[in-house]
Amino acid sequence: MPQEPTLNQRIVLVSRPQGAPTPENFRLERVNLPELADGQVLLKTLYLSLDPYMRGRMSDAPSYAAPVEIDDVMTGGAVSRIEQSRNPKFEVGDLVVGSTGWQSHSISDGRNLMPVPKGLASPSMALGVLGMPGMTAYMGLMDIGQPKTGETLVVAAASGAVGSVVGQVAKLKGLRVIGIAGGADKCRYVVDELGFDACIDHKSAEFADELAQACSEGIDIYFENVGGKVFDAVVPLLNPKARIPLCGLIAGYNAHEAPTGPDRLPALQRTLLTKRVRIQGFIVFDDYGDRQPEFLSAMAPWVRDGKIKFREDVVDGLEQAPEAFIGLLEGRNFGKLVVRVAQD
């Protein structure tokens, strides 16, 4: 007797945003999923990760990954539970991580699904400190930043999923760590809870001067998540042979025209040349996917022992994903942003 079809709720891209995304760029749909074929599994989404890179996927400009097509499900990583299985590698009840998108259910052939590590306080940690953001922080810092005891590191978006891990790992490696965050509450959290040496509020009218005072001996590593005026304030403070892991540029993700004002490129190029600064962009799974065991072997004990702390910003309900994502690009979230789609 055939099974009842599974009703899937999904959020699709309706139109490409001009500037900042709006709710009108998304649509919530309900569709029936087909029955499983041999080798497939039915996944029920528990937690959906919302991340800044998704803004780039909404545009059709050339990039490192194909854009989301109009009327297709928004892309995104998620923790899911196996509801049905016709694949011998997976059992009903298994928790897995995969790029299954903004939807309540999905069907997979099992490729690119990874088991959620055992013993986590919440499965959602596999989307944050022990997932893509944590791995981004660790590999970018260790491989490109090459931290050395006694150096000064500055990290933008310091209270976020990536920046918070960057700073804490750097402290464990013996560096002086300066965070940059938006607002007094986030800056207090970065210093009082995460243990950074200082945190500068980029909303301050005196931001550039305050950053310079905090970095009196210059900057050896700048972990870039933001761009914009934050990067402008950092460049004059870079020490000779500074390293810049280039992870993200969220300040410009909603821009749809070239910035106005003087051309700052020649001054930047001169700084990079005369100070022999190394700046390297990276895409974590493309560049370091084969080193995930290395990341987990280092990070999991730190998390277990309380040496790396993390904070989640949890939103309930798949239908809330568009508004939560819009808020992410505006800096309204505090910690790793996840949507709880179903109870775990």
Side chain identity at 299, as an amino acid letter?
A: M
Maximal CA-CA distance, the chain:
74
Please write the tens of the pLDDT for every residue from 297-316.
Answer: 999 999 999 999 999 999 99
Report d(CA 78, CA 123) in Å as an integer: 10
Beta strands in the chain (DSSP E): 6-13, 26-33, 41-49, 78-85, 95-98, 105-108, 114-115, 152-155, 176-181, 198-201, 219-223, 238-246, 278-281, 312-316, 336-340
Q: Of 2-6, 201-205, 283-287, where does the model show the most confidence?
A: 201-205
Radius of gyration of the chain (CA): 21
Dig out the tokens for 337 from the structure: 């942003």
Number of C-beta neighbours around residue 258 at 10 A:
6
Report d(CA 138, CA 132) in Å as an integer: 10
Dig out the tokens for 321 from the structure: 């994903």
Side chain identity at 44, as an amino acid letter?
A: K
Percent of the chain with pLDDT over 90: 81
Classify burial at 263, counting beta carbons within 10 Å of its beta carbon; exposed 0-12, middle 13-18, buried 19 or more.
exposed
Say if strands 41-49 and 176-181 run parallel, antiparallel, or are unpaired: unpaired
153: confidence class by pLDDT, cuts 50, 70, 90: very high
Q: How far lies 169's CA from each of 63, 94, 125, 174, 230, in Å?
A: 30, 31, 17, 9, 22
Report d(CA 43, CA 106) in Å as an integer: 5
Residue 259 has pLDDT above 70, yes or no: no
By the 8 A CB rule, do 84 and 106 touch?
no
Q: pTM above 0.85?
A: yes
Dig out the tokens for 335 from the structure: 């910690």
Please write the tens of the pLDDT for every residue from 162-197.
Answer: 999 999 999 999 999 999 999 999 999 999 999 999
SS3 181: strand
* Mean pLDDT, rounded, for 85-108: 97
